[in-house]
Structure 1
Amino acid sequence: MDDMLRRRPFAMRASRRVTLLTLCLAVTIAHIDTFIVNLGARVIGDHFGAGIDQLQWIVDSYNLVYAASLLTGGMLADRYGRRRILMAGAVIFSAASLLCAAAPSALVLIGGRALTGAGGALMIPASLAIIRVVWDRPDERARALGIWAACNGVAMALGPSLGGLLIPWLGWRSIFLVIVPLGLLVVAMAGSTVPESANPQRRAFDAPAQLCGALALGSLTYAAIGGQSAPGAMIAALVVAALSTTLLIAIERKKGSAALLSPEILGARQFRAAMIATTGMTFGGYGMVFVLPLAWQSSGRFDAAASAAALLPMSLVFVLVSPLSGTLSDKFGLRATASGGVTLMSVGLLMIGLGGLQPDVALAEFGLAITGLGLGLAAGPLSAMAVGDVTAARAGTAAALINVARISGATIGVAMLGALYAAAGGGGHGLRLAMLAGSLVQFAGASLAWMMTQRKAPGLRI
């Protein structure tokens, strides 16, 4: 019995809106946690007497473990049930947040953040795969994904504001404690509102492929994170990533359709296009969110609170536009909406580079709004392209891979654009150089995705 037949009785009884609310809450707490921690890094450093290296790992240990665990999380969701893995991820995320709140040292906090990344790697692919399974009609799925994707913008807007309220009144530990009841709420809601689904073929757990994939992604992420402070370690990590990738390809070629990265997934043109465009999108987007506030604060233009407020045009436009992306993609097609959105982001980054440190920051604020518009148009359709171009049985793996593209682009973008900004001596020149590089990568990703994507998507495989 396939996924659709197994879940249809549930879908007739339960409200899909409540199901979507549960999935949106899961993705929101996963993203809001990162934005709150970024804001609290300085206070945490003062409390523990932590240096820059330790603060960097308090933030980045989440990204490292998240990236390394994504493929495993997606496979486990397909094999053992997407609802079950979503709930397990929320439990781990909540427990890890509690550990972070009680951390007696920076080292324990780093470990707690790493465990949080493992929980996120279970939650995010599972929630995206559930959308693929529950909303089987492409038009309905596109609307659901638009709302789901908007939660990243909600987290981006809410995270700094919530952190700004909690830290002065309740201390830095409160930014982790606030996540715990929300995570437990996800567990309770998922148990009663989300239908269970799994791959009926029950693919075998491919331990060598999983290990090689985790090593490749983890090493690549480590290289991006530690490239500036430890060039030798970065080179070693890149070598490990290359060897792990080569070994993974050799293992997967022998598996055929049973492979973790099956020909069915990698051979889907729309899926590959979505991966490329998503990588370019987050490379420039996350890199900009790192470099622009740094430039503002380093120049004395804005302090941390004012920088967070100045970024709001991007977040607010994103939140407003994302729920409409499904309707727009129905009208204009996934190809135009996704590629056009990433192209708009590249234009926005150019405006930010030109106006970010000018006496009047109106051009930069307009560029941020254009960036939010492009992100809102592209995020949902790109997810729809990725999970809609594979069978429902592979939805968890496809969801994991699109998140691999997202986190890889984001981590490398932060590292490379930050390095370009520093190499150019910071200031206006450094900001312009970094934003130009981010814009070019985004435009290249949008162009490649446009050329690879068919004008009309083929019928979805169920």
Structure 2
Amino acid sequence: MSAMPNHTVAPTRPSLVLIATSLGVLLAQIDTSVVNLALKSIAIDLHAGVSAMQWVIDAYNLVYASLLLTGGTLGDLYGRRRIFVTGIALFAMGTLICALAPSATVLILGRIVSGLGAAFALPMSLVLLTIAYPGREERAHALGIWASCNGLAFIIGPTLGGWLVDSIGWRSIFYLALPICMVAVALTYHAVKESADPRERHLDIPGQLLAIAGLGGLAFAAIEGGHWHWTSPLILAIGATALIALTLLVWVEARTEGPLLPLEFLRDPVFAAALAIAGLMTFGMYALLFLMPLYFQTVRGATPFEAGLALLPMSLSFVIVSQLVGYLTNAFGPRVVMTTGMACMAAGALVLGEIGPATSMMVIGIALFVVGVGLGLNTAPVNGVAVAAVPAVRAGTASGLLNTARMIGATFGVAILGAIFAAYAGQEAASGAGFLPGLRAALTVGGIGEMLGAALAFACIRRHSLEARGA
């Protein structure tokens, strides 16, 4: 595959580009919401414990987080449309492996392939959208629609996915994504013009290997530490190796021309804050999505479909607020909107941490609604702020870094908060004395993380942080 010449061609039909890129987001998020909902059924069928179910989520998250930066670089080098379509094709392949998986090991393998596809497709979707909508106000509205696909996925996934799990079985949820993949590929070839900017860009293989070793080692230690004991020589050795790898990553990147991790970007306080906020947002959110379906099905005796319906207040508020967030950021600026969004997510998580077996579903629904409002207020602006903070020619790298931070937060949210939960509830996550204390501990820590994100947004994001920077 040879690098493409330097060119960036604006598409003639931005609305179709918006649809195509939004389908990419829809694919990844439907996958996340449906798999979380089906975890209890998968665990029973494949005889898997909590740590295996954490890996079903985190194998995807980890590969996604580790390779997002490479996905952004490949798009700059070889064509953003090409890499976007390749990502969707890999995602479809991984989904098919999951649908046919005879064991938890094969299922986790399929999730790895799906994560690779998402790492290619997701950063390119944001870059293609940024190219299609160069103006600040029109881009803000387009990003709101793009972000609302996350909420739409949380409606389609729990309702349709829950019904499929109940009526056909958990394998059917993976087939759900395949027709969307085909539509996304066809529409992308029709609507999206190819673009690339390979100037001074190259693959940073040492940086990529160190990033995988560091992130993978820390995730492994967090997930398996409680199972194998935190003080076991293997866990300590893996954790130490991961920290060494991440230290070497910073050292190598500081001495590499065109690095995978451009350290000069991290010196910009707005960009660095956007990365931290994105990571803290998903740290608490993905743990909530992992644990709340278990609560509904294990403690309240709900079916997967009923658990999906119980999550709808969050999904609906996310979709509604995402449609309005472009107007809100134009009116008040991203600082106010993002601070409010993270505070809402913190408040909702802390309330959910206090629920019991007989807590009113109205109280739970209101808390989930508030979490969805926070997601809607934060998802699009944090993406827009990160991309706007760097020169336009490095948009692919900025998008990759932002999404990497988001998925690192998700990976360690499921790993660390899942481990806290399992320390109380046990590997089988049965409805015993430890379930609710585990839920409370995990969601409380997640809520504190969201509140820290609100403080960062207030301190570091500025009213005009969505204004794009020149080349």
TM-score using structure 1 length: 0.90
- Could you tell me how far 1:449 is from its partner in structure 2? 2.6
Instruction: Describe the shift of the 1:38–1:296 C-alpha distance in structure 2 as closer, same or farther (beyond 3 A).
Output: closer
Question: Distance between the aligned counterparts of 1:53 and 1:348, measured in 2?
Answer: 26
Instruction: Describe the shift of the 1:330–1:114 C-alpha distance in structure 2 as closer, same or farther (beyond 3 A).
Output: same
- List aligned pairs for 1:283-432, cutoff 5 A: 283-300=283-300, 302-355=302-355, 357-423=357-423, 426=434, 428-432=436-440
> Are 1:440 and 2:448 matched, yes or no?
yes
Instruction: Describe the shift of the 1:44–1:435 C-alpha distance in structure 2 as closer, same or farther (beyond 3 A).
Output: closer
Note the alpha carbon deviations across 1:28-62, whole angstroms, 9 max, x for none. Answer: 11121232233334444455455555444334322
- Could you tell me how far 1:299 is from its partner in structure 2? 3.0
Q: Is residue 96–residue 175 contact of structure 2 (8 Å, CA) maintained in 1?
A: yes
- Could you tell me how far 1:119 is from its partner in structure 2? 0.6
Q: How high is the sequence identity, in percent, across the aligned residues?
A: 41
Give 1:362's aligned amino acid: M
Match in the other structure for 2:427: none
Out of 7, 10, 20, the position equivalent to 2:9 is 7
Note the alpha carbon deviations across 1:112-146, whole angstroms, 9 max, x for none. Answer: 22111111110111111222222222222221111
Question: Distance between the aligned counterparts of 1:427 and 1:396, measured in 2?
Answer: 42
Match in the other structure for 1:117: 115
- Could you tell me how far 1:189 is from its partner in structure 2? 1.1
Q: Is residue 70–residue 260 contact of structure 2 (8 Å, CA) maintained in 1?
A: no
Match in the other structure for 1:454: 462
Unaligned runs of 5+ in 2: 425-432
Q: Is residue 227–residue 415 contact of structure 1 (8 Å, CA) maintained in 2?
A: no
Give 1:281's aligned amino acid: M
- Could you tell me how far 1:106 is from its partner in structure 2? 3.9
Out of 212, 215, 225, the position equivalent to 1:214 is 212
Match in the other structure for 1:240: 241
Question: Distance between the aligned counterparts of 2:389 and 2:29, measured in 1?
Answer: 26
Unaligned runs of 5+ in 1: none
- List aligned pairs for 1:191-230, cutoff 5 A: 191-230=189-228
- Could you tell me how far 1:235 is from its partner in structure 2? 3.2
Match in the other structure for 1:187: 185
- Could you tell me how far 1:343 is from its partner in structure 2? 1.1
Bigger mean CA offset, 409-418 vs 77-86: 409-418
Out of 78, 81, 91, the position equivalent to 1:80 is 78
Cα RMSD after superposing both structures: 2.6
Question: Distance between the aligned counterparts of 1:357 and 1:37, measured in 2?
Answer: 24
Instruction: Describe the shift of the 1:370–1:31 C-alpha distance in structure 2 as closer, same or farther (beyond 3 A).
Output: same
Question: Distance between the aligned counterparts of 1:261 and 1:158, measured in 2?
Answer: 35
Give 1:439's aligned amino acid: G
Note the alpha carbon deviations across 1:58-90, whole angstroms, 9 max, x for none. Answer: 343222222222221121112211111001111
Note the alpha carbon deviations across 1:263-286, whole angstroms, 9 max, x for none. Answer: 442222221111111122112222
Question: Distance between the aligned counterparts of 1:281 and 1:352, measured in 2?
Answer: 16
Give 1:85's aligned amino acid: I
- Could you tell me how far 1:414 is from its partner in structure 2? 2.5
- Could you tell me how far 1:26 is from its partner in structure 2? 0.9
Note the alpha carbon deviations across 1:151-175, whole angstroms, 9 max, x for none. Answer: 1112122112222232344443322
Q: Is residue 36–residue 289 contact of structure 2 (8 Å, CA) maintained in 1?
A: no
- Could you tell me how far 1:397 is from its partner in structure 2? 1.6
Q: Is residue 70–residue 203 contact of structure 2 (8 Å, CA) maintained in 1?
A: no
Name the SS of the counterpart of 1:147 in structure 2: helix
Give 1:70's aligned amino acid: L
> Are 1:93 and 2:102 matched, yes or no?
no
Question: Distance between the aligned counterparts of 1:182 and 1:393, measured in 2?
Answer: 30
Instruction: Describe the shift of the 1:134–1:268 C-alpha distance in structure 2 as closer, same or farther (beyond 3 A).
Output: farther
Give 1:289's aligned amino acid: L
Note the alpha carbon deviations across 1:237-293, whole angstroms, 9 max, x for none. Answer: 32222111111111111135x222224422222211111111221122222223333
Bigger mean CA offset, 231-240 vs 363-372: 231-240
Instruction: Describe the shift of the 1:236–1:443 C-alpha distance in structure 2 as closer, same or farther (beyond 3 A).
Output: same
> Are 1:137 and 2:123 matched, yes or no?
no
- List aligned pairs for 1:141-152, cutoff 5 A: 141-152=139-150
Q: Is residue 422–residue 438 contact of structure 2 (8 Å, CA) maintained in 1?
A: yes
Name the SS of the counterpart of 1:205 in structure 2: coil
Instruction: Describe the shift of the 1:358–1:433 C-alpha distance in structure 2 as closer, same or farther (beyond 3 A).
Output: farther
